[in-house]
Amino acid sequence: MAKILLEIVTPDKLLLSKEVDEVTCPGTEGEFGVLPGHCQFLSTLHVGELKYRVGDAHSYMTIMWGYVDVTPTRVTVLAEVAEHAEDIDVERAQAKVVEAEAKVAAGGSREQIEAALTSLEKARLRKKVAERAKSRAH
C-alpha cells in the first residue's frame, strides 16, 4: 500500500519524519485529511490537533500555527510549536487550563482578553491531546 512522508519541523528541530498512511491537519479554514496521491496545495495551520495513522496505530500531536505543504508523496508541516502527545504532562496541562480560565474571567482590555482566550485555547488543546495519549497507554 502507498505511504506518504510526514515531516514536522519547528524552528528548533525536525520533530518527525515518518512514512504514514494518513494525515489530518488543523487548517485555518477547517480540518483536512491527506492520503497518498493527494493533490498539491499549501495551507496555513491554526492551533489544533494533528493526527496521523500508520496501519491501525493512530498518533496525535499539538500544532500551534504554521504552514503545511502537501504533495502527492509528502506532507511538510512548518509549525511555530508542535508536541507529541506523549511528551505533554497532563497535570501541568490541567493547571494551565485553570490559569487561563482565571485570566479570561478577570477580563481587562481587548488585547488582554484576546491573549487570555488564545492561552485558554492552547491549554485546552494540550490537555485534550495529553489525555488521549494517556488513555491509549493504559
pLDDT at 4 over 60: yes
| pLDDT tens string 76-95 | 999 999 999 888 888 888 88
pLDDT of residue 17: 98
Residue 57 grid cell: 496505530
Please give the pLDDT value at position 112. 87
For residue 3, the SS3 value is: coil
pTM across the whole model: 0.83
Q: 96 near 52, Cβ under 8 Å?
A: no
CA proximity to 47, closest of 133, 135, 127:
127
Q: What is the mean pLDDT of the chain?
A: 91
